[in-house]
Structure 1
Amino acid sequence: MELSCKIEYALLALMALADGFGQNEPVQISQIAQDQAIPDRYLEQLLATLRRGNLVRSQRGAKGGYFLARSPWQINLLEVWACLEGQIAVTQAGDTPERVVIRQVWQETQQATQAIWQGYTLKDLCQQRDSLRPRDFMYYI
């Protein structure tokens, strides 16, 4: 199992928007693309999909850009996944005992993944990121 570039890029962009949440200043695609090393055209497509999924909203014009549609603590990661990839599909049982067992384990894995992704919000990601960033300390002698 791998995390797709689509999901990773979307989460990076959403975290950038979460950083600017509440400032009433839209974040421009070019700024996010540059800061996060995401191709501009691909980011445009992702943000358009996220806008259609009501996770972000846009503002047109010279000072246009994107905002989060809701607070960072109100957007969970499963919503992002569902918007971009669709719902995590639950597999059906097979016709042989071996297939049934394999698919049951896979179904448990999918359910656990859904629960974990639903339990994290954009705010959680930003807080965890911030805790990993080096802090600037001033030492006085």
Structure 2
Amino acid sequence: MKLSNSSEYSLLAMLALVDCYHNGDLMQIKEIAELQGIPNRYLEQLLATLRCRGLINSIRGSKGGYVLAHDPRKITVLDVLTSIEGVEINASTNNTTLENIESSVVEEIWQEACQAANLVLQKYSLQDLWEKQTTQPQRALMYYI
């Protein structure tokens, strides 16, 4: 399993909005894009999807921007990923009949792994990610000449 760019960028944008939620501020697309290193156009599409799914709100105007629609403790990582990807992590739904017992066993294990992944993603809220992020020491960049 691999986290798609869309999902990663969406989580990063949502984490930026957690900061603003605590301060009661709004954040504009260009601020989020610069802070998280996300291309503006791509971020616009992601934020539009998150807004349509009810995870964020947008405020129009010169001092407008984006804000979380709910408390960050109530938005899970799984909520963000399913909003962007469209479905929960699950095994491929091939309509083909399993040819042998080995295929059946592999499919069963894969289903179990996907269920475990969903449980972990449901367990963590944006607040949890934000707290992990703020408690980790910042990595210093080392420049060599």
Q: TM-score, length-normalised on structure 1? A: 0.90
1:112 to 116, 136, 141: 116
Equivalence map 1:68-107=2 (5 Å): 68-88=68-88, 89-91=90-92, 94-107=98-111
Corresponding residue for residue 44 of structure 1: 44
For 2:106 and 2:55, locate their aligned partners in 1 and report how far apart those are by CA, in whole Å: 35
Deviations 1:4-49 (A, max 9, x none): 1111100000000001104332100000100110000000000000
What are the ranges of 5 or more consecutive residues in structure 1 without an aligned counterpart? 135-141
Cross-structure match for 1:13: 13
What is the rounded CA distance, in whole Å, between the counterparts of 1:53 and 1:9 in structure 2?
16
Report what 1:34 is aligned to. 34
CA distance in 2, matches of 1:12, 1:51: 15
Match of residue 121 from structure 1: 125
Q: Tell me the C-alpha RMSD between the 2 structures.
A: 1.6
Unaligned runs of 5+ in 2: 139-145
Q: Hey, what's the Cα distance between the residues in 2 that align with 1:19 and 1:38?
A: 17
SS of residue in 1 equivalent to 2:73: helix
Contact 1:14 1:122 in 2 (8 A): yes
* Overall identity of the aligned pairs, in %: 43
Mapped partners of 1:5, 1:34: distance in 2: 16
Could you tell me whether the CA contact under 8 Å between 1:91 and 1:107 is conserved in 2?
no
Amino acid in structure 1 at the alignment position of 2:71: S
- What is the rounded CA distance, in whole Å, between the counterparts of 2:57 and 2:99 in structure 1? 46
Residues of 2 paired with 1:116 and 1:132: CA distance? 20
- 1:82-139 deviation digits (Å, cap 9, x = unpaired): 11112223445723111101111110110000000000000000110111134xxxxx
- Give, as a single letter, the amino acid of the residue that structure 1 aligns with 2:26: P
